[in-house]
Structure 1
């Protein structure tokens, strides 16, 4: 490598036709100590391992007592990022060159709307942002009371999510505009999308600001809080599901705490491979295929069909009316029945047609076995659904047609019954929408 450009802000290096900033070099060679490829796992980076251990320990003690203690922690972990986002946005728009980035953000290139990949990226972002098909929204919603206004909560969730993304755009693109002016580059050439935006671009921008240490601390604390929030939701989803499946075993004293510590320990041990020199390649493979790939879209299709056709869009409207006293408008019914399944199906087909093999930012091409592993992980996100369907078909009585009809149409219960909540609480094997059902403080006598 030879130096080609240097100033008091950044240093750029070249290797062949590739130009790399000193910030990227520090991230890839210093922090991650990246190997040549996924074939070379290398050694464990002890700094990363200790950070991972600290994250799992922090998460465990934040959620080990149940959703009520988690709710108190979330007041900090959820609100603090908004405070930091506001501070960083105000700081960003006051930087020289920020207006260049804001203009680029507000006046996009409309010709890109003809690019199929743009729409697929938008679909992926929506799935991740709303936590669809992961069971998180269903689990957290099940802690509400039966008469909770889910109609209003859904609208507020969409509004808050969209506004957060819109405001965050000002914080990001104002900083990109500042970087573009300092480096003499167009805004779209400053950084690449992906993890580099958080761990390469913004630290590089922070280094150019006055009091860089202050802004760096604020930014990375915000990232930690966001990561913990995501981990809280995932762990609570798994814990609540296991508790609902085995209520008598899991509701005894200290069973939840023991289960969580075993679960956290197992996944900490599994994730040690991500702290190796080749761990970043495996992380990118999982992110591309298992978390944001075609498998997730297949689950979206299955879930939307289950809601709109098996449970029934009309019945869903009846349930919402029984809970809130307000019947959803026709648009909701059309979405549950037709629009949402068709959008997910079209997105799945387009993703397959537009498939591009994963490559790293430096042009590293994964070996064929790695792509096979990625598609295997994508399939494993879907495989439990048909396996569980076969198990349920096998374990109930009747002809095949009768079994399918029983499983396709769930048992009806009056959603507006005044005793519905009490009945559910008295039958722990049934799923409930009451906070009390998941409360680990209930003893066995209250369950009988």
Structure 2
């Protein structure tokens, strides 16, 4: 199973690239990567915000036209080339190699922001072992006179009469965890407790990834399955609470009029590109550790179903609890549901504080949150490491080199994110999340990815590759998607995101200074400009006429295709009379 590819020159001291230890490891790694915090929190909130059940219509449209086709496309090219997110383009379409660099840069930004969410969850988990949850009362040093304790029913009356009141959970989040300052101009001091949590998370991720797929493949057996057990427990508990039905109906009740709102469609598309982890090379790298004849076509269809199914089920778990909160406080659900960190670190902690045995449910919730995030985080790290290792295999695959470079990568991300752990760090975190890792950047990469593979490399080649690797023919609908639907829908969404651009604000009241917006756009352009920038660089440094250079850079590596064919013949079992597609 861990044989070295025939394309590799045997060099003394150079380690083998290897494969997954089993098919289950691949499935769990991909499932852990694509099923993350976005499924559990972002999808239910967007569904509620954009018309309840009506949101499912644009969601399904984007799943069919973009999500599944791109998921299959990236996994296929990874399994076929057995290369990372950058070097795979050298084998298929060298002119488009900038797509790989752009995707890795987005993953680098994501690694810095995502680990901070895990650190906040660890912070809450530690406090979950207290005799009384600190966000359940207003008797703490950090609380103000405006604090309201929702654990007592009579306080909900007080809440409705005080416009400047804040819940105990909100004050714990803003004043104890973040100690948030007045703006990005006021960075303040480092939050040392959060810093310790960040260090703990980086150490955990380092040892999950340091041996490559040999360690990652084993870790996912726990980290990818245990969150599902926690989600089922929280779902059963949530549905048994008073007011749960009210929350579920609020979650699913459709508003057909919202289907005419372009913003609803834009947010549905952004959710697909985030939750399916497409456009950044993650699926390419994970697929590259498969053997050549793995049935990636069937795997992709089942994994896409698992991803969207988890999002829908998580919606029931979340909104049953929010319905309980609305019932207990006597207020509409619209006043207790918030997005992102607000939902994960204010609404739900506040909800568990109102349940019997709150410590137990708090521990279950934050353990689930950490494991969901860990999967996505260390797979992103593995993707970056694999992509760089495949660029310099003779250097990076020598004993001990990978571990040392991974340590350097972790330290670099850690020191770059220190500014996010300060009192003004939340503003920096939100700026990175909004600009550097946003959907517009990923949409741009996906447009050129489908154009490069569908039109330049050739959709017929792709079909031949899938047929040769899996022994089955892909549905002709994917051909229509790769040629027309996916690039057009992605381009339309990208243009709309620019037309409807809204400057970033924090909590609807804080407006960032102009220099922060300039910095944010520079972060966004840093990945986008790598695509045309790399193409212009290769064209400018090539030899021959411009037409000859374009033709050469758009031509797949024919020798590589022949080599893959020979390897496939060695791996075929059962005497199938299937010849490798060498196009």
The verdict on a shared fold, with TM-score over 0.5 as the criterion, is yes
Q: Tell me which residue corresponds to 1:89.
A: 235
Shift of 1:112: 2.1
Q: Aligned-pair distance for 1:311?
A: 1.5
Of 384, 401, 422 in structure 2, the residue corresponding to residue 255 of structure 1 is 401
Structure 1 residue ranges without an equivalent (≥5): 424-448
Pick one of 276, 279, 283 that aligns with 1:130: 276
TM-score relative to the length of structure 1: 0.90
Inter-partner Cα distance in structure 2 for 1:409 and 1:17:
65
In structure 2, the CA distance between the partners of 1:322 and 1:340, relative to structure 1 (3 Å rule), is same
Cα distance in 2, alignment partners of residues 419 and 247 from structure 1: 20
For the Cα contact (< 8 Å) 1:322–1:415, is it kept in 2?
no
Q: Which moved more, 1:366-375 or 1:88-97?
A: 366-375
> Aligned-pair distance for 1:312?
1.5
3-state SS, counterpart of residue 507 of structure 2: coil
Can you list the C-alpha shifts for 1:139-174, whole angstroms capped at 9, x where unaligned? 000000111111101101111101111111110010
Deviates more, 1:42-51 or 1:262-271: 262-271
- CA change 1:80–1:421 in 2 (3 A) is farther
Cα displacement string for residues 231-283 of structure 1 (whole angstroms, at most 9, x for unaligned residues): 11111111111111101101111011111011111111111111101110011
Find the partner of 1:284 among 426, 430, 449.
430
- Alpha-carbon separation, structure 2, partners of 1:303 and 1:281: 32
Give the 5 Å matches for 1:179-190. 179-190=325-336
Residues 176 and 421 from structure 1, CA distance in 2 versus in 1: closer, same or farther, beyond 3 angstroms?
A: farther
Match of 1:149 among 270, 290, 295: 295
Deviates more, 1:134-143 or 1:369-378: 369-378
Is the contact between residue 317 and residue 327 of structure 1 (CA under 8 Å) also seen in structure 2? Answer: yes
Say whether residues 1:219 and 2:365 are aligned partners: yes
Provide the rounded CA distance (Å) in 1 between the counterparts of 2:212 and 2:426: 33
Q: Residues 109 and 391 of structure 1: is their aligned pair in 2 closer, same or farther, counting only changes over 3 Å?
A: same
Equivalent position of 1:321 in the other structure: 467
Do the aligned partners of 1:323 and 1:416 also contact (CA within 8 Å) in 2? no
1:35 and 1:42 in contact (8 A); partners too: yes
Structure 2 counterpart SS, 1:280: helix
TM-superposed CA distance for 1:422, in Å, is: 7.2
Q: Can you give the 5+ residue segments of structure 2 that lack an aligned partner in the other structure?
A: 1-143, 572-583
- For 1:108 and 1:24, how far apart are their aligned partners in 2? 30
Q: Deviations over 1:404-425 (max 9, x none)?
A: 11112323425982435879xx
Q: 1:417 aligns with which of 554, 565, 573?
A: 565
Aligned to 1:169: 315
Name the CA distance, whole Å, in 1 between partners of 2:513 and 2:159: 27
Name the CA shift for 1:229/1:15 in 2 (closer, same or farther; >3 Å). farther
Match of 2:481 in 1: 335
CA distance in 1, matches of 2:225, 2:237: 19
CA contact (8 A) 1:60 1:260 kept: yes
Question: Is contact 2:435-2:521 (8 Å) kept?
Answer: yes
CA distance, structure 1, for counterparts of residue 165 and residue 501 of structure 2: 27
- 1-structure distance, mates of 2:516, 2:453: 35
C-alpha distance after superposition, 1:93-140 (max 9, x if no partner): 000000101111222322222222222221111111111111100000
1:39 is aligned to 2:185: yes
Change (3 A) 1:403 1:197: same
CA contact (8 A) 1:34 1:280 kept: yes
How far residue 87 of structure 1 moved from its aligned partner, in angstroms, is 0.6
1:282-333 CA distance string (max 9 Å, x none)? 1111111111142222112111211211211111111101111111121000
1:376 to 522, 530, 534: 522
Instruction: Please name the residue that 2:224 is paired with.
Output: 78
User: Which segment drifts farther, 11-20 or 268-277?
Assistant: 11-20
- CA RMSD in angstroms, aligned pairs only: 2.1
- Alignment check: 8 A CA contact 2:150 2:354 kept: no
Equivalent in 206, 210, 232 of residue 356 of structure 2: 210
The structure 2 residue matched to 1:264, chosen from 401, 410, 414, is: 410
